[in-house]
Structure 1
């Protein structure tokens, strides 16, 4: 059987994504052959206008690829079936932090505990897709299209950006990858970048001014051609302006020097640089833990992954500060959860229901939302945690209350907007 870990799927999904029209798509694609990092001399007045117009939250979507085990992170300590199912890897009640009589946080999430106590970090348990799907690739595709049973093939973030009137690639950015995430696939311009500092047009260098040549080539051309060219040069100029000044995180924030830490650091730069950002996508891989998940101690696989995740999220929140986080909502998603029962290799196979985590000034945190179905055998779905909250309903509430999107059914056609109280209205 081929390796279907999240990291193995990421490149495939990005190379199969459809292109959005020649230069417009090139501006969005980063390294799809035209852009691999950006430089330029022209400032985008269109971008500046867009930045001033949007007043909703910046939605940051953090994809935990590979099948995140929400039962290890947001531990159902009040359910005895949890400890019976995981005799070798369950998190002892004595090690849990935060939480309440039903749930506790894995001790590796300690960097996020201040935000839990402040009510800006929270979770939803037993969340997930409408039906089980234990294939990494197929489940991620469904997660990102988010329109099962319809003919829609665009990504849900593309539909969100379209509903908010996005017209510039800098308004929807995926950071850490050279191609825009598939969740942004569709007609609305979007951008993929490995990092701000490395964002440059392929081949653009001294004596070979590709970006300036592109601008000159389309000067005075019809709008259908010059518009996409301006998007390219505007994106180049915006990132060049940000990269021109060394970035120093505020408030003593220190990001981990890994892919996730660097990506969230750049998202903070885009937000604080007033680049017009409406939504950002970031990936965190290697959550496919079929073996050796480990006990809740430093040096063990799950503990150390959660510790790095918490460290990066806490640095992001600290960098933006209280005022900055008032306009940001970060939400985690994953293609599926893990099995309730540990396997013979001390790990967990592909499952169904999962936990989502939220961080932001408008989050109703310090608690675990959602209806808990229980882990006794009669409540499981083929041995997995049942889903009682559609992940799209969580995001729809964020889009409506925090991003100001009135027609959320244009994003999630079969999801009615909820008022479950996961976030507060702006």
Structure 2
């Protein structure tokens, strides 16, 4: 169990999460250095690129820092919830999309149109098969999704590997230049801070005669080694990514936040139709050991509002193209049932997953509720392995073999997705 923050301490993440963020940036950069070529601020791994229309698009939104699922989807029908959280519990009267047991945090109200139209669902009491309260280890375990294996390959990299005609444009990490573990592996992918950053350095308005790019081709086109192939792949990927760069930027209709900016970029990629099928984005600052707050103040209020407004803007921006896009939220673990002395919550176990968009059987809460315990070290128990939820998305939206994406795992039926 992690220790509670001292009363009155600053609203910062725990030291481990801060170290994970710094270590992830450094480790990711080093890992990519041997296998990828930087193009502007984008990273493209070595493989010939091709542009092809995507029939289905999966957006995996990671809530970094361990979001409190009991605040996002509140079990108001379980009396222990209110006993364990006398100051920070969300009042039942304030919840939206409420049934006899659950309701959404009121700041998730922008998602109600998706819920009412049957395109948003929640699966509660999800998580890893065994508790893991280390941010670093839990992120690795969740995104690798292959317990016991020493292979450096994430579940999304295995997913795109089921396509024999794979290209680097098939999977993109947006919002930062570091690949998440879920995308790391043998299959080529892209990572970029923005759509406009996918460009050849020097290919700009100042190079009026194209001499710089010609010089790069002269230097690299004859190289047959790994670095030469990587540069050739990068040239091809940048060229094929052109339609996305030419797609209008509608960021003004999104929240002015990192998540809003990232999802606006994802929408540009989808509208550009360059063959991207898998996209990863992050929303950080969910490690709320202190100052989680109430409906009037605090970090949960702000994060939930940003999450809902950004997702709502994303699906509105997509318009008719939303019919092929499925968004899933995931977090490394949940928070304790009992609040601490700093109006926050320490590291826990079970959590909630939100699914929105194509194929989702929405307007409903899924999962088996285990009940809560009002003790100091109480966790929400996990009754649905998170891989069962992801496996349902993988099989229904992509027709992929869940045995290849999640080796050695037998998914249980969740029922949250419709078949192809």
TM-score under structure 2 length normalisation: 0.88
Q: Distance in 1 between matches of 2:84 and 2:291?
A: 16
**Cα gap change, 1:7/1:234 in structure 2, threshold over 3 Å: closer, same or farther?**
farther
Residue 305 of structure 2 aligns with which residue? 307
Alpha-carbon deviation of 1:240? 4.6
Instruction: Kindly indicate whether residue 415 of structure 2 is the aligned counterpart of residue 416 of structure 1.
Output: no
Query: Which stretch shows the higher mean deviation, 209-218 or 136-145?
Result: 209-218
Partner of residue 50 from structure 2, selected from 33, 47, 51: 47
Alpha-carbon deviation of 1:193? 0.5
Q: Secondary structure at the match of 2:336?
A: coil
Alpha-carbon deviation of 1:183? 1.5
Alpha-carbon deviation of 1:383? 1.1
Residue 275 of structure 1 aligns with which residue? 274
Alpha-carbon deviation of 1:271? 0.7
Residue 396 of structure 2 aligns with which residue? 401
Alpha-carbon deviation of 1:257? 1.4
Q: CA-to-partner distance for each residue in 1:27-83, whole Å, 9 max, x for gaps?
A: xxx5xxx641499xxxx99422xx24x53x211110100010000000001000000
Query: Which stretch shows the higher mean deviation, 65-74 or 158-167?
Result: 158-167
Q: Distance in 2 between matches of 1:4 and 1:158?
A: 30
Alpha-carbon deviation of 1:424? 0.5
Q: Secondary structure at the match of 2:20?
A: helix
Alpha-carbon deviation of 1:413? 1.3
Partner of residue 27 from structure 2, selected from 6, 16, 30: 16
Alpha-carbon deviation of 1:155? 1.2
Q: Distance in 1 between matches of 2:278 and 2:376?
A: 34
**Cα gap change, 1:224/1:300 in structure 2, threshold over 3 Å: closer, same or farther?**
closer
Residue 369 of structure 1 aligns with which residue? 366
Q: Distance in 1 between matches of 2:371 and 2:165?
A: 42
> Does the 8 A contact of 2:40 with 2:197 survive in 1?
no
Q: Secondary structure at the match of 2:159?
A: helix
Residue 36 of structure 1 aligns with which residue? 41
Instruction: Kindly indicate whether residue 331 of structure 2 is the aligned counterpart of residue 326 of structure 1.
Output: no
Residue 195 of structure 2 aligns with which residue? 196
RMSD (CA atoms): 2.7
Q: Distance in 1 between matches of 2:335 and 2:165?
A: 36
Residue 180 of structure 1 aligns with which residue? 179
Q: Secondary structure at the match of 1:318?
A: helix
**Cα gap change, 1:187/1:162 in structure 2, threshold over 3 Å: closer, same or farther?**
same
Gaps of 5+ in 2: 4-12
Partner of residue 338 from structure 2, selected from 329, 341, 344: 341
Residue 348 of structure 2 aligns with which residue? 351
Residue 247 of structure 1 aligns with which residue? 249
Q: Distance in 1 between matches of 2:279 and 2:174?
A: 7
Alpha-carbon deviation of 1:361? 2.2
> Does the 8 A contact of 1:289 with 1:349 survive in 2?
yes
Partner of residue 231 from structure 2, selected from 223, 229, 232: 229
Q: CA-to-partner distance for each residue in 1:98-130, whole Å, 9 max, x for gaps?
A: 031110000000100111111101111000011
Q: Distance in 1 between matches of 2:344 and 2:321?
A: 39
Gaps of 5+ in 1: none
Q: Secondary structure at the match of 1:163?
A: coil
Residue 115 of structure 2 aligns with which residue? 116
Q: Distance in 2 between matches of 1:170 and 1:312?
A: 24
**Cα gap change, 1:223/1:152 in structure 2, threshold over 3 Å: closer, same or farther?**
closer
In the alignment of these two chains, the number of paired residues is: 403
Q: Distance in 1 between matches of 2:387 and 2:17?
A: 21
Q: CA-to-partner distance for each residue in 1:252-285, whole Å, 9 max, x for gaps?
A: x821111111111111111110111110000100
Query: Which stretch shows the higher mean deviation, 200-209 or 95-104?
Result: 200-209
